[in-house]
Structure 1
Amino acid sequence: MGLTSNAVLAVAAGLAVALFAATIRLWPRLAARTARAVAGRAGLLLATQLALFAAVGLLANNSFLFYGSWADLFGRQQDLGTVTDHGAGAGAPGSTTARIGSVRPDVPGGGRPAVGGRIDKVVVSGHASGINSAAYVYLPPEYFQPAHAGHRFPAVVVLTGYPGTAENLFKGLRYPQTAHERVKAGRAQPMILVMLRPTVAPPRDTECVDIAGGPRTETFFAHDLPQAVTRAYRVGDRARNWGIIGNSTGGYCALKIGLHHPDRFAASAGLSAYYKAAEDPTTGDLFHGDRAARHRSDLLWSLDHRPPAASSFLVTTSRQGEGNLRGTKEFIARVKAPARVSSIVLDSGGHNFNTWRREIPPALEWMSGRLSGN
């Protein structure tokens, strides 16, 4: 049984209830002061508390998907598969993807790609950055329908926060399901979603920065990832074909990549984003004293000091519950034409999945309106 399965949670919760009931029932029999009775009481208390902590931990993990599997929880390395070239230009130097499995989308008809789409599990091998990273690629139903056989689709890179897992994006935040629903409702066009976490050099939080001496995370997202996906799937290679969106750390990365690479991404959206690279024990020394690199990672500084491009930005916050309200207002104020900026401001909403699930549907509609497939 998988770490995030309801069966595991049910077993843990049932065990906690059973141990609690056993403690109540057996406590009078263990009231003596003998070593055996004391050991029995201590054992029951310890077992009950461990079972309760396990149940609560599993419930929290199922809600926020900090870990996607047992291997992820215990830090065991997972095989990435063999990288092969796909599509036109195979054999030439460049970034590639290798499909190593698939996941059934949680939508009606999810077992048939032409009805529910398909989620490919892939490994992206970055030629310029030297980074290999697992990702999930959601292909909409239209991708498999004969009427769209010659059609190229817009693609959106979707990033989690730190230290989230890529599974967060389709299990917890339900990006493919939401995209499917928006298309069915006539509110968005079919789009390919490339879902992964910004932590491509785990466990370090690189803040999507090209760090001197590596890893070159910005290069991976801005150059290698779009190139690899374009080679493997029917996606265009122009800026108008590409968008990028993320929450929290992923939101900062999305805005940063979109701001500094308008030739690659026409639209970028930051849900609950912050606007300056974090520097703490999880990041280590990102800049090695390079003042220019530190300034470049500050999005508000960049908006003031770099020529504006014809890019589109979406930022989200809430009047109560988020800590980025002031920064978001400053970001909006500093965007200059020909760039465009939009916002979602909730009355209340914390830095959590529930807030982002409220923002994702309109964010995908916004993204759809700014991208084209061909």
Structure 2
Amino acid sequence: MLSQPSRSRAVVTGAAVLALAVGLTGCGNTKSGKAKAPVATDAPAAASPSAPPAGKVLMPTGPAAAMTKARETAVGPVTTTKVAGPKSGVTGQVWVWLPPEYHDPKYAKTGFPVLTLFAGGQSNGYNTWAGSELPIPEVAERLAKEGKSHPFIMVMPVQNFSADEKKALDCSDIPGQPKMATWMAQDVPAWVRANFRTLKGRDSWGVMGASTGGFCSAKLALQYPDVYKAAVPIDGYFIPDSRLWQGHDTEKAANNPDQLVTQGKADVKMLVTAGGADPYEQRVVKSWMAKAVPPVAIEYYEQPGGKHLTSDFRKMVPDALQWFTKNLEGPAHD
């Protein structure tokens, strides 16, 4: 879990980066500083002694979606369907992988944690996590059998409806464009809860992505901390770059992770990564981390010799799954 002698990491809980490691997919040098003290929060009110404990499991309410097999794996199929979002008005393709435990009769009343995975590039009609380029189901099930990872439900939405980069939607509600942030962070989670056994609250929900997906995962976690507790942006960037923002500076600023991380509003945990062979990427990531204000808590990992390549993103999967397992609730039953 990122603890091997050849790897190092640092925790950032304030506006400064503590001791930054050298290695993962790229950011240059930043000065270390003192982390701000965590923001104090009121203790939760004690439950009434006579009140029964609330159940954790959310059973699916339906209607059940018609799923089509998209890819067979050694640990169960990746299936797909179209999800029509009532809040966003957006209809987009979503891929799902259910861990083998989900179908085990012993877990018939168990709710499972959820990871939402975003791809790099345009992700128009595809999601690389759903294909063989990033075979996360196989790695996840191996780690689950070894007791190193939760068995996660994995959800993989599309991010764009055009292959033209000039029409990139930035996982955002850009004025005059499809409301992708609302679809991704409101409609898709609601659809998941309606179709699969999950857990109440946000403590079992995480989001991860690489490159463009790294931008999306950081942004949505900061914007929707009521939905996601943890995020892993792999080799991402943190400033919206779609040309569709032209003329919408105020809305662009509201969707800018470079500003969202400074606001001190999102109680989320993140593991952000950069490649050790990419100094520019290292500078981007470390500069962004240095702006973080509690209660945002960020850890940094640098992949030794890592480049901005799918083959290197794949190497991050075991560490990412184990990190999520430490920071998200696992399967539970009432």
Same fold per superposition (TM over 0.5)? yes
Give the TM-score range, shorter chain. Answer: 0.7 to 0.9
Preserved contact between residue 105 and residue 177 of structure 1 (Cα < 8 Å): no
| Residue number in structure 2 paired with 1:247 | 210
- Do residues 180 (structure 1) and 141 (structure 2) align? yes
What is the identity, as a one-letter code, of the residue corresponding to 1:345? E
Deviation string 1:167-225 (CA, Å, 9 cap, x unpaired) is 55431011111111111221101000001332256653101110112210111111001
| Residue number in structure 2 paired with 1:24 | none
C-alpha change, 1:137 and 1:348, in structure 2 (3 Å) is same
- Do residues 360 (structure 1) and 309 (structure 2) align? no
Structure 1: distance between partners of 2:203 and 2:162 = 29
TM-score by length of 1: 0.67
What is the identity, as a one-letter code, of the residue corresponding to 1:133? G
Structure 2: distance between partners of 1:310 and 1:163 = 29
Structure 1: distance between partners of 2:199 and 2:326 = 16
Preserved contact between residue 117 and residue 208 of structure 2 (Cα < 8 Å): yes
Structure 2: distance between partners of 1:346 and 1:152 = 33
Preserved contact between residue 205 and residue 229 of structure 2 (Cα < 8 Å): yes
- The percentage of counterpart residues that share the same residue type is 26
Structure 1: distance between partners of 2:129 and 2:116 = 14
Task: Map 1:199-218 onto structure 2 (within 5 A).
Answer: 199-200=160-161, 203=164, 204-218=167-181
1:136 aligns to what SS in structure 2? strand
- Do residues 328 (structure 1) and 328 (structure 2) align? no
For structure 2, list consecutive stretches of 5 or more residues without a partner in the other structure: 1-58
What is the identity, as a one-letter code, of the residue corresponding to 1:194? V
C-alpha change, 1:125 and 1:352, in structure 2 (3 Å) is same
Preserved contact between residue 94 and residue 156 of structure 2 (Cα < 8 Å): yes
| Residue number in structure 2 paired with 1:264 | 227
Report the alpha carbon displacement of residue 237 of structure 1 after superposing the two structures with TM.
Answer: 4.4
| Residue number in structure 2 paired with 1:345 | 302
| Residue number in structure 2 paired with 1:297 | 255
What is the identity, as a one-letter code, of the residue corresponding to 1:278? D
| Residue number in structure 2 paired with 1:64 | none
Preserved contact between residue 235 and residue 274 of structure 2 (Cα < 8 Å): yes
1:334 aligns to what SS in structure 2? coil
| Residue number in structure 2 paired with 1:41 | none
C-alpha change, 1:322 and 1:225, in structure 2 (3 Å) is farther
C-alpha change, 1:157 and 1:322, in structure 2 (3 Å) is farther
> Which among 88, 95, 99 is matched to residue 136 of structure 1?
95
- Do residues 191 (structure 1) and 152 (structure 2) align? yes
Structure 2: distance between partners of 1:89 and 1:184 = 30
Preserved contact between residue 162 and residue 197 of structure 1 (Cα < 8 Å): no
Deviation string 1:218-253 (CA, Å, 9 cap, x unpaired) is 111110010011101111342112111011111100
> Which among 82, 88, 93 is matched to residue 123 of structure 1?
82
1:369 aligns to what SS in structure 2? helix
| Residue number in structure 1 paired with 2:54 | none
Preserved contact between residue 159 and residue 250 of structure 1 (Cα < 8 Å): yes
Report the alpha carbon displacement of residue 322 of structure 1 after superposing the two structures with TM.
Answer: 6.0
Structure 1: distance between partners of 2:130 and 2:288 = 26
1:99 aligns to what SS in structure 2? coil
Report the alpha carbon displacement of residue 98 of structure 1 after superposing the two structures with TM.
Answer: 2.7
Q: Which has the larger radius of gyration?
A: 1
Task: Map 1:1-374 onto structure 2 (within 5 A).
Answer: 87-88=60-61, 90=63, 98-103=65-70, 105-107=72-74, 116-164=75-123, 165-200=126-161, 203=164, 204-279=167-242, 284-286=243-245, 288-304=246-262, 306-321=263-278, 323-372=280-329, 373-374=331-332
What is the identity, as a one-letter code, of the residue corresponding to 1:140? P
C-alpha change, 1:325 and 1:186, in structure 2 (3 Å) is same
Report the alpha carbon displacement of residue 313 of structure 1 after superposing the two structures with TM.
Answer: 0.9
Structure 1: distance between partners of 2:135 and 2:297 = 27
Preserved contact between residue 68 and residue 79 of structure 2 (Cα < 8 Å): yes
Structure 1: distance between partners of 2:128 and 2:236 = 20
Preserved contact between residue 71 and residue 131 of structure 2 (Cα < 8 Å): no
What is the identity, as a one-letter code, of the residue corresponding to 1:134? Q
